[in-house]
Amino acid sequence: MMPYVLAIDQGTTSTRAILFDARGAVVASAAQELTQYFPQPGWVEHDAEEIWAATASVVAGTLARANCSPQQIASIGVTNQRETVVIWERATGRPVGRAIVWQDRRTTEFCRRHAADQPWIRERTGLVLDPYFSATKLQWRLSQDPALLPLAERGEIVAGTIDSYLIARLTGSVSHVTDYTNASRTMLLDLRRLEWDPELAAFFGVPLAMLPKCLPSAADFGVTHGLSFLPDGITISGVAGDQQAALFGQGAFTAGEAKCTYGTGAFFLVHTGSRAIVSQNQLISTVAAMTDSTPQYALEGSVFVAGSAVQWLRDGLRIISEASATEELAAQSNPQEPVIFVPGFVGLGAPYWVPEARGAIFGLTRGTQPADLARAALEGVAFQVADLIDAASHDLNATPLDLRVDGGMANNRWFLQAQSDLLGLPVRPALCAESTALGAAFLAGLRVGVWKNLDELRAQLGQSQQFSPAMSPSDRQRRLRTWRRAVRAVMVFAKETESDSSLIDDGN
Ligand SMILES: Nc1ncnc2c1ncn2[C@@H]1O[C@H](COP(=O)(O)OP(=O)(O)O)[C@@H](O)[C@H]1O
Ligand SMILES: O=P(O)(O)OC[C@H](O)CO
């Protein structure tokens, strides 16, 4: 009987289950949208009970579609939106309040107040002191409700990222575990020692008793227990945060191999082997998937607006009816209309880190057409990723040989050619559209022997069509200079607007 591996991919906007066979092919899948709660400006929450119900439903749906017996499932892999933090009752798995999502900015003021602590936190965790990561979110929850702290100190309520919460539910509250990739996003993990850091825990007021045990990404996380939709005893043996899972699912296992996932935002990761590098160029350091106790690391940069710039063309400007129309439209743009679009709708992420920035379009003339805007939107994403790879190349003293790509925008051939041109590097779209889930399945299957080793996984991935740079180096440099001039203008505008409004606030 052919063994299957079940991947659960719990993302920001949806929960999916995907069943893979031993060749790494998708057998069946099911997905469910997730409700987003915005209780105040800048706040984003999820209902962890809804996440659990959706997980049960998509797993059941996938198994029904595959017409497979649960006995064929050799193992389960879990991958998840990262940083989002849940508190739950250890004994029952019942959530205590809503999950605070990675996009939530409610702890901005805390981060500002503790800006002086940035250097040691950055050195210890590889992260930038920003509301993005879990620690300030936990700090906020515990300080808002004084009744929680004694329960947390006694370990009666516990905390974790979504992987940890789902494993607790899948195992009938037996396991309270996480993997190092997820732990490295909390801002509570010592990046080099791979241990919870008591000093950081004290700084953020988080009792160590409420944190899960950390394991490599391919390990024994527990077995299913007491579920209506799966039999008891199926092992959970692969866990990774979604971007690290995509890196693994793209076969980027060793130093220098890089991928970018273009969804709502874009996440670029380059593997740095067993070396944790603290970036001198505004990237963050993170743990990459570990298949054993040998540490693995990556440098990461996130672009906050990627596919959402395309959504804006569709829903805001209404110049396209569907995202894929940008491919044909951009191809019709006039090369003599060099429009530059800086899609900084929610501030600029790495490597600029300007939360106050907003979007801007430069170079408009009476001749500017929708096609020129479509092209500028796609290029605006490609330019940002070019800046990330430039930053990583400075940190590593080397440029990746190519860029593996996946996510919704990777279906756009015009975009991939533009990305290759602006990087001066080959761009290789994944053959499997589900790199994130495949990564989790690979980790789980590797642990239980569905696959023997990394070479076998590499062979399974095959070679996709490659996009090669067709732009001359001098044209590329000129275009990058124009882009960076536009980004500088956006930053100056943001800074001067900010100081102007603080003068008004002060009554001057
Ligand atoms: N062919 C395309 N060309 C350009 N953008 C696209 C295309 N297909 C999808 N997108 C964009 O990709 C995003 C969806 O990608 P997906 O990987 O499903 O994202 P997420 O997981 O963040 O929801 C949307 O923002 C959409 O605008
Ligand atoms: O759920 P996604 O795909 O939007 O990914 C979210 C990231 O993990 C946030 O760091």
- Which of the listed residues 213, 229, 244 is the one where a domain comes to its end? 244
Domain count of the fold of the chain: 2
Helices marked H in 294-369: 307-311, 325-331
pLDDT in tens, 430-446: 988 889 999 999 999 99
Instruction: Return mean pLDDT, the chain.
Output: 94
pLDDT interval class at 505 (50, 70, 90):
low
Tell me phi and psi for residue 401, to 5 degrees: -75, -30
Q: Residue 8: which of 177, 223, 167, 190 has the closest Cα?
A: 167
Residues 237, 258 within the same domain: no
The residue whose CA has the least distance to atom 27 of ligand 1 is 307
Which residue bears the tokens 């996938």?
A: 62
Residues 68, 93 within the same domain: yes
The residue whose CA has the least distance to atom 4 of ligand 2 is 12
Residues 392, 498 within the same domain: yes
Residues 179, 322 within the same domain: no
Residues 194, 86 within the same domain: yes
Domain residue limits at 324: 251-429+472-508
pLDDT interval class at 495 (50, 70, 90):
confident
- Which of the listed residues 244, 259, 289 is the one where a domain comes to its end? 244
Residues 238, 315 within the same domain: no
pLDDT in tens, 64-74: 999 888 889 99
Report whether pLDDT(145) > 80: yes
Question: What is the number of the ligand 1 atom nearest to the C-alpha of 263?
Answer: 19
Q: Which residues line ligand 2 (CB under 6 A)?
A: 11-12, 81-83, 102, 241-243, 263-264
Within a domain: 464: no
Please state the rounded mean pLDDT for residues 5-25: 95
Within a domain: 490: yes
- Which of the listed residues 219, 244, 269 is the one where a domain comes to its end? 244
pLDDT in tens, 349-396: 888 888 788 899 999 999 999 999 999 999 999 999 999 999 999 999
Residues 212, 288 within the same domain: no
Residue 504 confidence (pLDDT): 57
Within a domain: 448: no
Residues 38, 114 within the same domain: yes
Within a domain: 460: no
Q: Residue 308: which of 266, 369, 278 has the closest Cα?
A: 266
Q: Would you list the DSSP string of 381-398?
A: HHHHHHHHHHHHHHHHTS
Within a domain: 446: no
Give 415's strand partners. Answer: none
Residues 214, 331 within the same domain: no
Please state the rounded mean pLDDT for residues 177-182: 98
pLDDT interval class at 498 (50, 70, 90):
confident
**What is the DSSP code (8-state) at residue 70?**
G
Amino acid identity of residue 400, one-letter, is: P
Within a domain: 463: no
CATH code for position 154: 3.30.420.40
Residue 503 confidence (pLDDT): 59
Please state the rounded mean pLDDT for residues 97-116: 92
Within a domain: 17: yes
Within a domain: 355: yes
- Pairwise CA distance, residues 292 & 226, whole Å: 29
Q: Which residues line ligand 1 (CB under 6 A)?
A: 11, 13, 263-264, 307-308, 310-311, 323-324, 326-327, 407-409, 411-412
pLDDT interval class at 497 (50, 70, 90):
confident
Residue 502 confidence (pLDDT): 66
Residues 185, 255 within the same domain: no
Residues 227, 337 within the same domain: no
**What is the DSSP code (8-state) at residue 174?**
-
Please state the rounded mean pLDDT for residues 449-467: 91
Residues 299, 224 within the same domain: no
Amino acid identity of residue 122, one-letter, is: R
Report whether pLDDT(508) > 50: no
**Residue 444 CB neighbour total at 10 angstroms:** 32
Helices (H) and strands (E) in the chain, counts: 16, 22
- Pairwise CA distance, residues 113 & 90, whole Å: 33
pLDDT in tens, 315-340: 999 999 999 999 999 999 988 888 99
